[in-house]
Amino acid sequence: MYKILIADALPNSVLEQFNAFSDIRVDNKAGISKEDLAEILPQYDGLVVRSRTKVTAEILEHGKKLKVIGRAGAGVDNIDSKEATRLGIIVMNTPGGNTVAAAEHTIAMIMSTMRNIPAAHAAMKDERWDRKKYLGNELFGKTVGIVGLGKIGREVTKRLAAFETKLLGYDPILTQERADRLGIELVSFDELLQRSEIISIHVPKMPETIDMLNAENLKKLRKDAVLVNCARGGIVNEEALFEALNNDQLAAAAIDVFSSEPPTDWRLATHPKVVATPHLGASTEEAQSKVAEQILNQMIEYFRKSVAINAINFISVDEKLQPVIAPYFELATHLGTLFSQIRSGRLQEVALRFYGSVADLPMDPITSNLMAGALKPSATEGEAHNVDFVNMVNSVSIAREKGIEIELTRKENPLNSLTNLLACDFTTDKGVVHLAGTVYANDVYRLVEFNDYTVDADLKESMVIVENKDVPGIIGRVGTLLGESGINISHVSSGRNKVHKKAVNIFNVEGELSSALNDKLRRIDDIDVVLLAEAKAEEV
């Protein structure tokens, strides 16, 4: 019998349904303390949490039998997913289960703030009739900026359209075609902040989004702007927002989430210009029942069939195939990560071709690794703030959700003298980036094609990529500049296009690749393009 521990409150009606199964036992310990959780966790195969319980590395040490952690909701920032992965524990969530509830709460917060409903309600309870004091603003015709156009962000835009608002969106991955269908004008983050009368945040909490709305960015807001955060605490810097409200840098804020819950500092929640709720975005009876049923069904599916649905850290590949396919997981990740660092424009299509015997391997998991790298933040195009934790499990579904087309092709004959090759064409709204790579030997991954050039560069090392006129002296001039900048060169690969009298030089290097270095390289005569790509040691 599989035993599942419920650490946070779920509807009893749902839990009773699952206790009826002969092979499943569900123990409801909602509200359990950290100490008691650590004590009894060794007995359980599954753990279900919401946002209250923090599943830290310390807690995971006690999960000796633990196979699955289920988050009854979308965000998994309260679960140490990397440590769970190291321990072989699957982490799964329930994306979409509370989407409608969160979207509706966002609209309610906007309306409450625009029409001063909480303050007017409090006045009525005090038997004060203050009609003139609580003069509000209409939502009709307002410019509303949505930061992050995932499931919840898109649902919010659908509801705002009914108010005949003008919609701006910031989402580096959403395609223009999908934005057009939603009636959204895609803009940069800065432009959204500057133009919007109402700004609503819908991004996950991750290292790149912590303090996304900081003191500097809050200064870019209009004086009459309203800021709404029903996403995650910490995305908006609370101290900076408090000061901005005091200094009249924006008109008001509506906050459902806080960096510490309940807050340890109540100044923001009690500020007269703030409408605050205690993290109620997903708190509807319908949403709670939906995510509870969904997560328990997913866990049972895994226990009974080894099928991991909505897993964020797991992909199933036959054990016997792992040694053969693992190097191509790594190769695909390196190719995708390289693209993410040198891309310009919004990714629209990916064509991945498998040449040689690699074409006999399962394509989907290799593609998932490629896309997990490709969806990383771009240094030139801004952070991918709207994407939840992306890995090889969910990368393809996220890409397709964003309107990115993926085409896979098997080619029996090798493309060139290399017997096994992955060739990728990444199409953006600014052009196509072509990359091809191969596995030379154990842990040796090479870039063998870059756009129109044949090259041979180490994919595991940082790169300085220079495209230039095919004239003598470029390698020497670049090498001198890199040396003066404290950059060590480990390998140089050159490719030539004699027809167009162009060349590319790829320097594998060690050292810090800065924007200042980029600027210096661009000033060298006859150099047309400079691209910097740092080696990424962390796992996707």
What digits encode the pLDDT tens for the residues 172-208?
889 899 999 999 999 999 999 999 999 999 998 888 8
**Could you count the other beta carbons within 10 Å of the beta carbon of residue 136?**
13
DSSP at 378: B
Res. 272: pLDDT tops 60: yes
Nearest CA to 436 among 220, 288, 156, 417? 417
Please enumerate in sequence order all residues whose Cβ is within 8 A of that of 165, keeping only pairs 6 or more positions apart, or say none.
Answer: 139, 140, 141, 142, 143, 144, 198
**What's the CA gap between 89 and 82, in Å, rounded?**
10
The dihedrals phi and psi of 79, each to the nearest 5 degrees, come to -120, 130
Q: Where are the beta strands (DSSP E) in 269-413?
A: 274-276, 347-355, 405-411
Annotated active-site positions, please? 232, 261, 279
**What's the CA gap between 178 and 180, in Å, rounded?**
5
pLDDT band at 319 (very low <50, low <70, confident <90, very high): low
pLDDT band at 386 (very low <50, low <70, confident <90, very high): very low
SS (H, E, C) 275-313: EECCCCCCCCHHHHHHHHHHHHHHHHHHHHHCCCCCECC
Backbone dihedral region of 101: left (phi > 0), alpha (psi from -120 to 50 degrees) or beta? Answer: alpha
**Percent of the chain surpassing pLDDT 90:** 73
pLDDT at position 321: 81
Mean predicted lDDT score pLDDT of the chain? 91
pLDDT at position 538: 45
Rg of the chain, C-alpha, whole Å: 26
pLDDT at position 395: 83
Nearest CA to 344 among 402, 430, 456, 405? 430
**Half-sphere exposure (Cβ direction) of 357: Cα atoms closer than 13 Å:** 5
Average pLDDT of the residues in 391-414: 83
Res. 383: pLDDT tops 60: no
pLDDT band at 21 (very low <50, low <70, confident <90, very high): confident
Are 198 and 141 in contact by the 8 Å Cβ rule? The answer is: no
Average pLDDT of the residues in 429-440: 94
Q: What is the tens place of the pLDDT at every residue in 440-475?
A: 888 899 999 999 999 999 999 999 999 999 999 999
Are 394 and 330 in contact by the 8 Å Cβ rule? The answer is: no
More confident residue, 191 or 21: 191
**Percent of the chain surpassing pLDDT 70:** 95
Go through the chain and tell me how many residues it has: 540
CA 469-471-476 angle, 5° bins:
105
**What's the CA gap between 42 and 187, in Å, rounded?**
50
Res. 269: pLDDT tops 90: yes
pLDDT band at 539 (very low <50, low <70, confident <90, very high): very low
**Could you count the other beta carbons within 10 Å of the beta carbon of residue 262?**
9
Domains by residue range for the chain, with CATH: 2-95+285-305 (3.40.50.720), 99-276 (3.40.50.720), 319-533 (3.30.1330.90)
pLDDT at position 336: 96
